[in-house]
Amino acid sequence: MIGTVMSAAPELSSKNLDLFVPDGSSIEQACKRTTHLCIAAHQDDVEIMAFHGIAECYKKPDQWFGAVVVTDGAGSPRAGAFANYSNTQMKLVRKIEQRKAAEIGKYSFVYQLGYPSTEIKDAKHEQSVNDIAAIIDACQPRVVYLHNLADKHETHISLALKSIIALRRLPAKRRPKKVYGCEIWRDLDWLADGQKVALPVDQNDELTRNLLEVFESQVSGGKRYDLATIGRRFANATFSEPRATDQTKAITWAMDLTPLMTNDSLTPAVLIKQHVAKFSQDVLKGL
Q: What is the pLDDT of residues 183-203, one digit of tens each?
A: 999 999 999 988 899 999 998
Q: Is residue 178 part of a domain?
A: yes
- Provide the 10 A C-beta neighbour count for residue 247: 12
- Provide the 10 A C-beta neighbour count for residue 235: 14
Q: Is residue 228 part of a domain?
A: yes
Q: Average pLDDT of the chain?
A: 93
Higher pLDDT, 197 or 244: 197
SS (H, E, C) the chain: CCCCCCCCCCCCCCCCCEEECCCCCCHHHHHHHCCEEEEECCCCHHHHHCHHHHHHHCCCCCCCEEEEEEECCCCCCCCHHHCCCCHHHHHHHHHHHHHHHHHHCCCCEEEEEEECHHHHCCCCCHHHHHHHHHHHHHHCCCEEEEECCCCCCHHHHHHHHHHHHHHHCCCHHHCCCEEEEECCCCCCCCCCCCCEEEEECCCCHHHHHHHHHCCHHHHCCCCCHHHHHHHHHHHHHHCCCCCCCCCCCCEEEEEECCHHHHCCCCCHHHHHHHHHHHHHHHHHHHC
The whole-number pLDDT of residue 2 equals 41
> What is the residue range of 188's domain?
18-286
**76 confidence band (pLDDT: 50, 70, 90):** confident
Interval 201-222: pLDDT, tens: 998 889 999 999 999 998 886 7
Q: Is residue 5 part of a domain?
A: no
Report the number of distinct structural domains present in the chain.
1
CATH number (domain holding residue 252): 3.40.50.10320
Per-residue pLDDT averaged across 257-281, rounded?
97
Q: Is residue 13 part of a domain?
A: no
Q: Is residue 127 part of a domain?
A: yes
Q: Is residue 4 part of a domain?
A: no
**Residue 19 β-bridge partners:** 111
The whole-number pLDDT of residue 194 equals 84
Interval 13-40: pLDDT, tens: 899 999 999 999 999 999 999 999 999 9
Per-residue pLDDT averaged across 228-233, rounded?
96
Q: Is residue 3 part of a domain?
A: no
Measured between its terminal Cα atoms, the distance across the chain in Å is 63
Residue 268, phi-psi category: left (phi > 0), alpha (psi -120 to 50), beta (remainder) = alpha
What whole-number distance in Å separates Cα of residue 115 and Cα of residue 130? Answer: 13
The whole-number pLDDT of residue 7 equals 39
For the entire predicted model, the pTM comes to 0.94
Q: Is residue 8 part of a domain?
A: no
